[in-house]
Amino acid sequence: MSAPCWSCNLVGEDQGALHRAPPFGLPSLCHDMVEGVSDSGWHATLTRGLNEAWQTRLFTDLVIRTQDQVIHAHKIILAAASPYFRAMLSAGLVEGQTQTLVLEDVSGNVLNTVLTFVYTGRASLTEHNVQEVLTLADYFQIHSLKKLCCYYLKTHLVSRTCLSVYEVAALHRCNDLAAEALALAASQCSEVLAQPDFLSLQPETLITLLKQPYLSVETEETIFKGVVDWVSKNPAERQKWLPVLIENIDLEFLKSNRNKWLAVLKEKQLLEDLKNVIDPAVVECNGDDEDCENQYLQKTIRHSTTEEVLLVMGGESNGRLLRNTECFAVGYSSWRCSIPEVARRPNSHYHQLQVLPPMQHARAYCAVATQQNMVYVLGGQTTKTFLASCECYNVLSNSWHHLNDLPEAMHGSGAAFLDGSLYLAGGKSQERYHSGLWVYNEYKDTWSNRGSMGLGRAHFGLAALHGSLYAVGGVGWAKGGSQILDSCEKYDPGADVWVPIASLGQARAYLGVAVIHDHLYAIGGYNGSQWLNCVERYDPLRDQWTSVSPMISARSSFGVTVSHGRIYCLGGFSGESNLNSVEKYNPRTNMWHCVQSMQLRRYGLVAATVSVPGALR
């Protein structure tokens, strides 16, 4: 065995190569010394007692008057649960001095649901009260309840209500929920346009929908009809919005249906408004005039299909650090260094390919996060140094561009998007394991500090689920040395704090994590003595890890991504050799399957799933 490699004090097969796994000589976790004791059931005992005191009005010292009820509560409990109440009751305001709070616009039943959560951690949510509870939770700044409301709305999204959910989510800055609701509306647009609730949308919501590059409708005429119906619902207030709405619709269909729509618009008294958007000569053109077909009508780019593709980037292969990217898409017989081209004209072939450009910097053990058509690659290492550089791949332009550097050069960090913001956590620099958390401001191209993890860790898993970030396992400094970790933490962005959650059943670093069907999966990795194929699934509502089917092959330092409801694990190191094999997990059947292998054997890579817009309508 060779001397330890320079990174993480790890041992490799040769000193010049990147490490494939933690050192064989890492000391095992020591359980001989107990630093503290705890009773896992105590919080349940405490909340039970608090709820009984509330229900029996024992020691209550605040009266809340709502629309239809008078509710008694404890100031100290409300202040502990809500920054809103803490500020109100401790700032010398009249409510704190008179023991009375008036909430005239709040339903007593909704407030009781919120207070029940404060005292018990449980809330009875239904489709009839969830939006009001979300509004009140946001107003009181009770972020845990707000996240539960978002979870409920997400799991009950349907075409009938998705845009009303979008409006509520956008109003309360629930960006992840808003994005999912808007995506559902786009994918089921024909059904959405036929819903009665569509006619009650806010104009800004309708504009946002029309600006989507992909809407699932047969023709733009369907969208045009929906807009006309929406304006006609309240012409006095909505006619002023018609020009900006029409600007986001492809009007080519009017060439074949001109007379029909002219009659409809005239009947609804909207024809004059349309003349302000389109050349009046086009609108007034006689249907029998040959020049009608030659008139210009605005062309809005709208794609009729989208397709998810898998990407793998970077890593090391046979002693060589990689910059290249491989892609796998529907119709491919093998992985390629090309990606389906974004359609630029009607009826273009979707599977026309374009070469994938390499990253600007060769790197391994970097962090990766994906949002919409963008892939962000952050930090990492070369064979000689750590990297602070960051870059972003844009599917639409098929190009990489540079982002502002990280606050410090690090490798083994984790990255994820949460409520539309890019977060980076942990990692290892030359001096230490980091516990820091940073958030990226894309408008200013800057990184800002957020609350630190309880423990510095690198080569761990980071994922976003139910409005929180989860840090899973990894390697960190504990008990005087580098340790493989089984500990996990959850970040609450509202409170800007990390809290411990249930530990893994198996300590592991160099693992993969993925979120699917509202569960978090910890996959493979290395435990200090062996490479792992075992998989654990975390239920955030029960704070519990359970074992599921293991991978076919043990692997660490691999890429992981989710596509079409399946988890893909790609490449890595098996303990004996580098891998190019790919496995796919179906959570519904709890089974793993081997799929098409990559071109190169690589470890320390990252993987991502992106959507490529297909043919233009």
Report the C-alpha gap between 552 and 557 in whole angstroms. 16
Report the C-alpha gap between 2 and 15 in whole angstroms. 7
Report the C-alpha gap between 75 and 72 in whole angstroms. 10
Is 368 or 292 the better-scoring residue by pLDDT?
A: 368
- The answer on pLDDT for 438 being more than 50 is yes
Longest dimension (CA), the chain: 93
User: In terms of Cα–Cα distance, which of 567, 437, 428 is closest to 496?
Assistant: 437
Of the given ranges (8-22, 310-324, 331-345, 529-543), which has the lowest mean pLDDT?
8-22
Helix or strand holding residue 171 (H, E): helix 162-171
pLDDT level of residue 268 (50, 70, 90 thresholds):
confident
Helix or strand holding residue 569 (H, E): strand 566-573
Q: For residue 342, what pLDDT is reported? A: 80
Is 363 or 478 the better-scoring residue by pLDDT?
A: 363
Report the C-alpha gap between 549 and 420 in whole angstroms. 32
Q: For residue 22, what pLDDT is reported? A: 44
Q: For residue 29, what pLDDT is reported? A: 41
Token look-up 């409809």 returns 264
How does pLDDT run across 466-505, given as a tens digit for each residue?
Answer: 999 999 999 998 878 899 999 999 999 988 999 999 999 9
CA dihedral angle for residue 48, residue 49, residue 50, residue 56, rounded to 10 degrees = 110
Q: For residue 312, what pLDDT is reported? A: 98
User: In terms of Cα–Cα distance, which of 513, 611, 597, 603 is closest to 563?
Assistant: 611
Contacts of 387 (CB under 8 A, 6+ apart): 361, 363, 366, 379, 380, 381, 409, 410, 411
Token look-up 């029909």 returns 260
Report the C-alpha gap between 276 and 263 in whole angstroms. 17
- The answer on pLDDT for 187 being more than 80 is yes
How does pLDDT run across 135-167, given as a tens digit for each residue?
Answer: 999 999 999 999 999 999 999 999 999 999 999
Token look-up 């909207």 returns 270
Q: For residue 526, what pLDDT is reported? A: 98
Q: For residue 208, what pLDDT is reported? A: 95
Q: Return the CA Rg of the chain.
A: 28
- The answer on pLDDT for 8 being more than 70 is no
CB 615 within 8 A of CB 348: yes
User: In terms of Cα–Cα distance, which of 103, 123, 117, 124 is closest to 51?
Assistant: 117
Fold observed for domain 306-613:
Neuraminidase (2.120.10)
CA distances from 349 to 146, 334, 345, 523, 615 (A): 45, 19, 9, 38, 7
Q: Which two tokens mark 311? A: 């990407």
- The answer on pLDDT for 296 being more than 90 is no
- The answer on pLDDT for 12 being more than 60 is no
- The answer on pLDDT for 555 being more than 50 is yes
Q: 26 in helix, strand or coil?
A: coil
In Å, how far from its chain's centre is CA 141?
22
- The answer on pLDDT for 387 being more than 90 is yes
Phi/psi for 148 (5° steps) reads: -65, -40
Q: For residue 23, what pLDDT is reported? A: 40
Q: For residue 97, what pLDDT is reported? A: 74
Q: For residue 33, what pLDDT is reported? A: 47
Q: For residue 195, what pLDDT is reported? A: 93
Helix or strand holding residue 515 (H, E): strand 512-516
Per-residue buried b or exposed e for 408-420, using 16+ beta carbons within 10 Å of the residue's own CB: bbbbbbbbbbbbe
Q: For residue 69, what pLDDT is reported? A: 95
Q: For residue 614, what pLDDT is reported? A: 75
Report the C-alpha gap between 489 and 119 in whole angstroms. 24
Name 425's bridge partners.
414, 437
Of the given ranges (221-230, 406-415, 447-456), which has the lowest mean pLDDT?
221-230
Range list for CATH 2.120.10.80 in the chain: 306-613
What string of H, E and C letters represents the secondary structure of 361-409? Answer: CCCECCEEEEECCEEEEECCECCCCECCCEEEEECCCCEEEEECCCCCC
Of the given ranges (39-43, 54-58, 519-523), which has the lowest mean pLDDT?
39-43
Q: What percent of the chain has pLDDT over 90?
A: 69
Report the C-alpha gap between 114 and 361 in whole angstroms. 50
Q: For residue 28, what pLDDT is reported? A: 42
pLDDT level of residue 275 (50, 70, 90 thresholds):
low
CA dihedral angle for residue 255, residue 612, residue 419, residue 131, rounded to 10 degrees = 50
Average pLDDT over residues 341-364: 78
| E-assigned strand segments in 209-366 | 306-313, 316-317, 320-321, 325-328, 338-340, 353-355
pLDDT level of residue 17 (50, 70, 90 thresholds):
very low
Average pLDDT over residues 208-232: 89
How does pLDDT run across 575-598, given as a tens digit for each residue?
Answer: 999 999 999 999 999 999 999 999
Q: For residue 11, what pLDDT is reported? A: 41
pLDDT level of residue 511 (50, 70, 90 thresholds):
very high
Each as own residue / partner, the long-range contacts of residues 56-65 (CB below 8 Å, 24 or more positions apart, any chain) are 61/99, 62/89, 62/99, 62/100, 62/101, 63/99, 63/100, 63/101, 64/100, 64/101, 64/102, 64/103, 64/111, 65/100, 65/101, 65/102, 65/103, 65/104
Mean pLDDT score of the chain: 87
Q: Would you call 319 exposed, middle or buried from its count of C-beta atoms within 10 A (0-12, 13-18, 19+)?
A: exposed
| Amino acid at residue number 146 | K
- The answer on pLDDT for 289 being more than 80 is no
Is 32 or 502 the better-scoring residue by pLDDT?
A: 502
Q: For residue 389, what pLDDT is reported? A: 97
Report the C-alpha gap between 425 and 439 in whole angstroms. 9
Q: Which two tokens mark 31? A: 């359980």
Q: For residue 345, what pLDDT is reported? A: 58
**What one-character DSSP code corresponds to residue 198?**
G
- The answer on pLDDT for 20 being more than 70 is no
Pairing of strands 100-102, 62-65: parallel
Of the given ranges (24-28, 62-66, 184-188), which has the lowest mean pLDDT?
24-28
**CATH fourth-level superfamily of 46-127:** Potassium Channel Kv1.1; Chain A (3.30.710.10)
Report the C-alpha gap between 366 and 411 in whole angstroms. 6
Average pLDDT over residues 560-571: 97
Please give the span between the terminal C-alpha atoms of the chain, in angstroms, as a whole number: 61
CB 374 within 8 A of CB 391: no
Of the given ranges (106-115, 164-173, 473-482), which has the lowest mean pLDDT?
473-482
Average pLDDT over residues 198-223: 91
CB 239 within 8 A of CB 273: yes
> pTM (2 decimals)?
0.84
CA angle 419, 453, 28 (to 5 degrees): 130
| Amino acid at residue number 84 | Y
Range list for CATH 3.30.710.10 in the chain: 46-127
Report the C-alpha gap between 437 and 126 in whole angstroms. 35
pLDDT level of residue 279 (50, 70, 90 thresholds):
low
Q: What percent of the chain has pLDDT over 70?
A: 85
